[in-house]
Amino acid sequence: MQIDPILAIRDLGSCVKFTRKQGLLNSAGHLVLLTVLAVIPLQVRAAELSRPNILFLAVDDLRPELGCFGEPVISPNIDRLAAKSVRFDRAYCTVPTCGASRASIFTGLRPTATRFVTASTSAQKDAPGTVTLNTHFRNHGYHTVSLGKVFHIPGDNAHGWSETPWVPAGVPEYFAAENMTLHEQRAKIGEKPDRGPAWESADQPDTDYEDSMIATRAIADLQRICRSDKPFFLAVGFKKPHLPFVAPQKYWDLYDRDQIESPKDYLVPQGAPAEAIHDWGELRHYSGIPQTGPVSDDAARKLIHGYKACISFVDSQIGQLLNELDVLGLNDNTIIMLWGDHGWNLGEHTLWCKHSCFEVSMRVPLIVHAPGISPGSTQGLTELVDMYPTLCDLAGIPLPDHLQGDSLVPLLRDPKRQWKSAAYGRFRQGNTVRTEQFRYTQYTNNTGHILSQMLYNHVADPGENTNIAVDKDNASISETHSVLLSDLKLQSGDAP
């Protein structure tokens, strides 16, 4: 006789997993419960049931511009998630561009000079044969689902998902008629600016926008997959606050533009090398943005306003998903990990977009809620490459040998403990390392020859406005950090 499969039912508004026991009627007509061996060992099924579900929330281009990180942004839903989670105040991406960062996250590998380099990076092309995060969880009994922007390329490592990755189709970029027309016209021209405006505030309902569609689909899928006989790994990727800054008018109305100012460090850092400053070409694709030189003060305020409005919009969509998790009674057995794929410059150091080795491009929000973990915050240096091993540890599945990050579980359990001494990253010619007090960046040519260096003291200069690497008195500090970078290159398999 064989035990029936473990079923999942929706009971009193909650997804409850239980074992249906099989029995036989004896001669007196009484049910006799039998303990038998199933074809699939019962202990294996029990282990699957005891494993937590995972809600993996990616927010594109989101720097720690959130209320829970002390910033003047209206983000009540992410804030309430943070209030019951561990907030990582010094978390960093490994490479500040979308595709490369996500490839690093999902493979658990660090970028090198030839691996995970560009926004259009494919993990399966740059790291062929590597077992990705989604694949590893699927191999260990999880039902894995991808909605929205998770990998940069939807088909990347698609075999690691239990269902075909889903992204909304046919959603307009703009809603104002003049913006839609401009966008179509510029796209036909095929030269910069080849897109519509960098911002739009339209009187449209949330449901017309891509991220609302992603949230709606995530809620429906959550209701469905929580009935499965497997734990779920639901990855949901939201597009905003990525350019263009397009959100319903009501989210723009949350902020007074007259109160928005350009950053205090709206200047090139003293002594910064030319290699550190880029031309923010991503923004120059949009109509109304000059092809050379700075944006106007008015445009700068509109860009900052739009970025904040988009955060508030996506926060509302995330709130709906978190609410459904409550309704389904899944909170007690679901890991929630919310992260941004890299930072974003809002005029700091005269830069816009990401693509730099400054702190503001490298630092990201990371919030982790896990069963049995008390809420809090940590100043421990952490990296997005740590998420893969952390999820494995929390789920009780083995860590692949290839991982180059560290499980954050000890830090989750004791947020005040001593942690790693450095967080590493790179972008194009630059390799950068963040330590307790300093950020050091080294720019090299193709042969490894050092072209220039940056060193910022985050105790005395948290805005990174004065490069002290040019001061000979700091040569020993620069050298110490240079050795850290050299060691990291060797460990990552990068060419010296």
Gap between the Cα atoms of 298 and 257, Å rounded: 10
**Is 152 part of the annotated catalytic residue set?**
yes
In the annotation, is 278 catalytic?
A: no
Annotated catalytic residue, options 15, 68, 93, 98: 98
User: How do strand 363-369 and strand 86-92 relate by DSSP bridges?
Assistant: antiparallel
Question: Using an 8 Å Cβ cutoff, are 54 and 233 in contact?
Answer: yes
DSSP 240-307: TTSSSEEEEHHHHTTS-GGG----TT-SPPBT--GGG----TTGGGEETS-SSSPPPHHHHHHHHHHH
DSSP assigned state of 73: -
**What's the token pair of residue 474?**
């700091």
Alpha-carbon distance of 367 to 386, in angstroms, equals 13
Residue 80 to residue 25: CA distance in whole angstroms: 52
Distance of alpha carbon 222 from alpha carbon 225, whole angstroms? 5
Per-residue burial over 283-296, b = 16 or more CB atoms within 10 Å of its CB, e = otherwise: bbbbbebeeeeebe
Which residue out of 143, 152, 242, 342 is catalytically annotated? Answer: 152
Active site residues: 98, 152
